[in-house]
Structure 1
Amino acid sequence: MFDIGFWELVLISVVGLVVLGPERLPVAIRTVSQWIGAARNMANSVKDELAQELKIQELQANLKKAEQMGMKDIAPELQESVDELKKVASDVQRPYADKSEQPSATTSNKQE
Protein backbone atom coordinates (compact mmCIF):
# COMPACT_ATOMS: atom_id res chain seq x y z
CA MET A 1 0.00 0.00 0.00
CA PHE A 2 2.58 2.56 1.12
CA ASP A 3 6.17 2.28 0.03
CA ILE A 4 7.88 2.69 3.39
CA GLY A 5 11.43 1.43 3.74
CA PHE A 6 13.49 0.49 6.77
CA TRP A 7 15.01 3.93 7.30
CA GLU A 8 11.62 5.63 7.11
CA LEU A 9 10.33 3.29 9.83
CA VAL A 10 13.39 4.07 11.99
CA LEU A 11 12.80 7.81 11.54
CA ILE A 12 9.10 7.49 12.41
CA SER A 13 9.99 5.41 15.48
CA VAL A 14 12.53 7.95 16.73
CA VAL A 15 10.13 10.86 16.21
CA GLY A 16 7.34 8.91 17.93
CA LEU A 17 9.62 8.07 20.86
CA VAL A 18 10.63 11.73 21.27
CA VAL A 19 7.08 13.10 20.92
CA LEU A 20 5.11 10.47 22.85
CA GLY A 21 7.70 9.15 25.25
CA PRO A 22 8.47 5.55 26.13
CA GLU A 23 5.27 5.06 28.20
CA ARG A 24 2.71 6.07 25.58
CA LEU A 25 4.48 4.85 22.42
CA PRO A 26 3.43 1.15 22.68
CA VAL A 27 -0.20 2.15 23.28
CA ALA A 28 -0.11 4.48 20.28
CA ILE A 29 1.40 1.75 18.08
CA ARG A 30 -1.31 -0.73 19.14
CA THR A 31 -4.04 1.81 18.47
CA VAL A 32 -2.71 2.66 15.01
CA SER A 33 -2.30 -1.02 14.12
CA GLN A 34 -5.91 -1.70 15.21
CA TRP A 35 -7.15 1.13 12.97
CA ILE A 36 -5.15 -0.20 10.05
CA GLY A 37 -6.50 -3.73 10.67
CA ALA A 38 -10.08 -2.46 10.83
CA ALA A 39 -9.61 -0.51 7.58
CA ARG A 40 -8.17 -3.58 5.84
CA ASN A 41 -11.02 -5.80 7.07
CA MET A 42 -13.59 -3.29 5.85
CA ALA A 43 -11.90 -2.99 2.46
CA ASN A 44 -11.73 -6.78 2.10
CA SER A 45 -15.40 -7.21 3.02
CA VAL A 46 -16.45 -4.56 0.49
CA LYS A 47 -14.29 -6.22 -2.16
CA ASP A 48 -15.83 -9.64 -1.41
CA GLU A 49 -19.38 -8.26 -1.55
CA LEU A 50 -18.69 -6.58 -4.89
CA ALA A 51 -17.25 -9.82 -6.29
CA GLN A 52 -20.38 -11.70 -5.18
CA GLU A 53 -22.65 -9.10 -6.76
CA LEU A 54 -20.72 -9.32 -10.04
CA LYS A 55 -21.07 -13.11 -10.04
CA ILE A 56 -24.81 -12.82 -9.39
CA GLN A 57 -25.24 -10.31 -12.21
CA GLU A 58 -23.28 -12.54 -14.57
CA LEU A 59 -25.46 -15.52 -13.66
CA GLN A 60 -28.63 -13.48 -14.19
CA ALA A 61 -27.35 -12.30 -17.57
CA ASN A 62 -26.56 -15.88 -18.58
CA LEU A 63 -30.02 -17.05 -17.52
CA LYS A 64 -31.70 -14.25 -19.49
CA LYS A 65 -29.57 -15.14 -22.49
CA ALA A 66 -30.55 -18.80 -22.15
CA GLU A 67 -34.25 -17.88 -21.88
CA GLN A 68 -34.02 -15.75 -25.01
CA MET A 69 -32.36 -18.60 -26.88
CA GLY A 70 -35.15 -20.91 -25.82
CA MET A 71 -32.74 -23.09 -23.81
CA LYS A 72 -31.26 -24.41 -27.07
CA ASP A 73 -27.62 -24.40 -28.08
CA ILE A 74 -26.34 -23.19 -24.71
CA ALA A 75 -22.93 -23.89 -23.23
CA PRO A 76 -22.62 -27.23 -21.41
CA GLU A 77 -21.66 -25.64 -18.08
CA LEU A 78 -24.67 -23.32 -18.33
CA GLN A 79 -26.93 -26.28 -19.10
CA GLU A 80 -25.57 -28.06 -16.01
CA SER A 81 -26.30 -24.97 -13.91
CA VAL A 82 -29.85 -24.76 -15.25
CA ASP A 83 -30.44 -28.47 -14.57
CA GLU A 84 -29.09 -28.09 -11.06
CA LEU A 85 -31.32 -25.06 -10.42
CA LYS A 86 -34.36 -26.97 -11.67
CA LYS A 87 -33.52 -29.91 -9.40
CA VAL A 88 -33.10 -27.66 -6.36
CA ALA A 89 -36.34 -25.85 -7.15
CA SER A 90 -38.24 -29.13 -7.37
CA ASP A 91 -36.67 -30.31 -4.10
CA VAL A 92 -37.74 -27.10 -2.40
CA GLN A 93 -41.30 -27.36 -3.71
CA ARG A 94 -41.70 -31.08 -2.90
CA PRO A 95 -42.09 -30.70 0.92
CA TYR A 96 -44.78 -28.08 0.44
CA ALA A 97 -46.61 -30.25 -2.07
CA ASP A 98 -46.54 -33.19 0.38
CA LYS A 99 -47.96 -31.03 3.17
CA SER A 100 -50.76 -29.69 0.97
CA GLU A 101 -51.73 -33.23 -0.03
CA GLN A 102 -51.91 -34.53 3.55
CA PRO A 103 -54.63 -32.18 4.84
CA SER A 104 -56.81 -32.82 1.80
CA ALA A 105 -56.61 -36.58 2.50
CA THR A 106 -57.65 -36.06 6.13
CA THR A 107 -60.51 -33.74 5.16
CA SER A 108 -61.79 -36.30 2.64
CA ASN A 109 -61.81 -38.94 5.41
CA LYS A 110 -63.83 -36.63 7.65
CA GLN A 111 -66.39 -36.00 4.93
CA GLU A 112 -67.08 -39.73 4.49
Structure 2
Amino acid sequence: MFDIGLSEILVIGVVALLVIGPERLPEVARTAGKYFGKFRAMVSGVQRDFNAELQNTELKKLISDQESQLNQLRTIVTETRAELNKSANDVGNAVDDAIKESNKS
Protein backbone atom coordinates (compact mmCIF):
# COMPACT_ATOMS: atom_id res chain seq x y z
CA MET A 1 0.00 0.00 0.00
CA PHE A 2 2.67 2.47 1.05
CA ASP A 3 5.92 1.96 -0.79
CA ILE A 4 8.24 2.59 2.14
CA GLY A 5 11.65 1.00 2.06
CA LEU A 6 14.09 0.26 4.86
CA SER A 7 15.97 3.53 4.38
CA GLU A 8 12.78 5.59 4.71
CA ILE A 9 11.81 3.71 7.87
CA LEU A 10 15.25 4.39 9.35
CA VAL A 11 15.01 8.12 8.55
CA ILE A 12 11.54 8.28 10.13
CA GLY A 13 12.84 6.42 13.20
CA VAL A 14 15.82 8.75 13.67
CA VAL A 15 13.67 11.88 13.23
CA ALA A 16 11.10 10.48 15.67
CA LEU A 17 13.85 9.69 18.17
CA LEU A 18 15.18 13.26 17.94
CA VAL A 19 11.77 14.95 18.08
CA ILE A 20 9.96 12.74 20.59
CA GLY A 21 12.85 11.55 22.68
CA PRO A 22 13.88 8.06 23.77
CA GLU A 23 11.51 7.97 26.76
CA ARG A 24 8.27 8.51 24.84
CA LEU A 25 9.31 6.82 21.58
CA PRO A 26 8.07 3.28 22.47
CA GLU A 27 4.68 4.61 23.59
CA VAL A 28 4.28 6.77 20.47
CA ALA A 29 5.41 3.91 18.22
CA ARG A 30 2.90 1.56 19.87
CA THR A 31 0.09 4.10 19.46
CA ALA A 32 1.07 4.83 15.86
CA GLY A 33 1.19 1.10 15.10
CA LYS A 34 -2.25 0.62 16.62
CA TYR A 35 -3.74 3.44 14.54
CA PHE A 36 -1.94 2.24 11.43
CA GLY A 37 -3.40 -1.25 11.97
CA LYS A 38 -6.89 0.21 12.36
CA PHE A 39 -6.37 2.28 9.23
CA ARG A 40 -5.27 -0.76 7.22
CA ALA A 41 -8.25 -2.77 8.49
CA MET A 42 -10.58 0.05 7.50
CA VAL A 43 -9.05 0.34 4.02
CA SER A 44 -9.27 -3.43 3.61
CA GLY A 45 -12.96 -3.34 4.60
CA VAL A 46 -13.67 -0.56 2.12
CA GLN A 47 -11.91 -2.49 -0.65
CA ARG A 48 -13.87 -5.64 0.22
CA ASP A 49 -17.17 -3.71 0.21
CA PHE A 50 -16.27 -2.01 -3.07
CA ASN A 51 -15.43 -5.33 -4.73
CA ALA A 52 -18.65 -6.91 -3.43
CA GLU A 53 -20.70 -4.00 -4.74
CA LEU A 54 -18.91 -4.17 -8.07
CA GLN A 55 -19.78 -7.86 -8.35
CA ASN A 56 -23.38 -7.07 -7.40
CA THR A 57 -23.56 -4.44 -10.11
CA GLU A 58 -22.11 -6.83 -12.69
CA LEU A 59 -24.56 -9.56 -11.65
CA LYS A 60 -27.50 -7.16 -11.84
CA LYS A 61 -26.43 -6.12 -15.34
CA LEU A 62 -26.06 -9.76 -16.38
CA ILE A 63 -29.51 -10.60 -14.99
CA SER A 64 -31.00 -7.59 -16.76
CA ASP A 65 -29.43 -8.67 -20.06
CA GLN A 66 -30.75 -12.22 -19.60
CA GLU A 67 -34.25 -10.93 -18.84
CA SER A 68 -34.15 -8.78 -21.97
CA GLN A 69 -33.12 -11.75 -24.10
CA LEU A 70 -35.83 -13.89 -22.50
CA ASN A 71 -38.46 -11.26 -23.30
CA GLN A 72 -37.27 -11.15 -26.91
CA LEU A 73 -37.52 -14.94 -27.09
CA ARG A 74 -41.06 -14.83 -25.66
CA THR A 75 -42.04 -12.29 -28.30
CA ILE A 76 -40.61 -14.49 -31.07
CA VAL A 77 -42.48 -17.54 -29.73
CA THR A 78 -45.75 -15.60 -29.52
CA GLU A 79 -45.37 -14.27 -33.07
CA THR A 80 -44.48 -17.72 -34.41
CA ARG A 81 -47.48 -19.27 -32.64
CA ALA A 82 -49.78 -16.62 -34.17
CA GLU A 83 -48.35 -17.26 -37.65
CA LEU A 84 -48.79 -21.03 -37.26
CA ASN A 85 -52.39 -20.61 -36.09
CA LYS A 86 -53.12 -18.34 -39.06
CA SER A 87 -51.52 -20.82 -41.47
CA ALA A 88 -53.49 -23.71 -39.94
CA ASN A 89 -56.72 -21.72 -40.28
CA ASP A 90 -55.88 -20.86 -43.90
CA VAL A 91 -55.18 -24.52 -44.70
CA GLY A 92 -58.38 -25.58 -42.93
CA ASN A 93 -60.39 -23.01 -44.87
CA ALA A 94 -58.79 -24.12 -48.14
CA VAL A 95 -59.63 -27.76 -47.39
CA ASP A 96 -63.21 -26.82 -46.48
CA ASP A 97 -63.53 -24.84 -49.72
CA ALA A 98 -62.12 -27.76 -51.72
CA ILE A 99 -64.58 -30.16 -50.08
CA LYS A 100 -67.48 -27.81 -50.81
CA GLU A 101 -66.36 -27.47 -54.43
CA SER A 102 -66.03 -31.23 -54.85
CA ASN A 103 -69.49 -31.76 -53.33
CA LYS A 104 -71.00 -29.26 -55.79
CA SER A 105 -69.61 -31.16 -58.74
* TM-score normalised by L of structure 1: 0.55
Secondary structure of 2:4's partner? Answer: coil
Structure 1 gaps of 5+ residues are 74-112
Structure 2 gaps of 5+ residues are 74-105
Relative distance call for 1:30 and 1:66 in structure 2 (3 A) is same
Following superposition, the deviation at residue 10 of structure 1 comes to 2.5
Distance in 2 between residues matched to 1:3 and 1:65, nearest whole Å: 42
**Equivalent in the alignment of 1:55:** 55
Secondary structure of 1:39's partner? Answer: helix
Larger Rg: 2
Alignment of 1:20-99 (within 5 A): 20-70=20-70
Distance in 2 between residues matched to 1:2 and 1:46, nearest whole Å: 17
Following superposition, the deviation at residue 72 of structure 1 comes to 8.6
Greater shift after overlay, 7-16 or 61-70? 7-16
Q: Note the alpha carbon deviations across 1:5-54, whole angstroms, 9 max, x for none.
A: 33333232222222222220001111111121111111111111111111
**Equivalent in the alignment of 1:110:** none
Corresponding residue pairs, total:
73
